[in-house]
């Protein structure tokens, strides 16, 4: 079993809809949680960074972390065709002094005009 599980999709939504993405994990030591967006043939771009549990909002993006359920989510409001990309969740634990990340498989999102 992988430490981080993420549905690879593809997830297709119409423009303007809310995109809902999530990851589950098994390692209770994870404390830092991130969402990255990766366009084809590009490096990942950091979208959201959360420490421990709670919600964080930044523009159209909302990240949620539920450590009791080992479940994290990313919501994208008012989705645009430019949001079409692969979204990767990533997390790390305090046990790792260098902050190595464990990634999900990535979810491919397609926003149709």
As measured in angstroms, the least distance from the Cβ of 106 to another protein is: 5
Question: Segment contacting another protein (CB under 8 A): 11-19, 56-64, 70-78, 103-111?
Answer: 103-111
Q: What is the largest CA-CA distance in the chain?
A: 44
- Chain mean position to CA 99: 17
Strands 71-76 and 54-58: unpaired
Q: Is 34 in the site for another protein (CB under 8 A)?
A: yes
**Residues β-bridged to residue 50:** 33
Question: Which residues of this protein are in contact with another protein, per CB under 8 A?
Answer: 32, 34, 36, 41-46, 49, 88, 90, 92, 97-101, 103-106
């Amino acid at each position: 079993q992988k430490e981080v599980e993420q549905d690879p999709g593809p997830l297709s939504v119409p423009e303007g809809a809310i995109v809902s993405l999530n990851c589950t994990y098994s390692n209770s030591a994870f404390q830092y949680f991130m969402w990255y967006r990766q366009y084809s043939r590009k490096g990942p771009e950091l979208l959201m960074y959360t420490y421990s549990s709670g919600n964080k909002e930044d523009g159209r993006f909302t990240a949620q972390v539920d450590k009791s359920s080992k479940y994290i989510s990313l919501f994208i409001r008012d989705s645009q065709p430019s949001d079409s990309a692969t979204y990767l969740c990533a997390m790390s634990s305090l046990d790792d002094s260098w902050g190595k990340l464990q990634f999900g498989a990535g979810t491919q999102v397609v926003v149709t005009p």
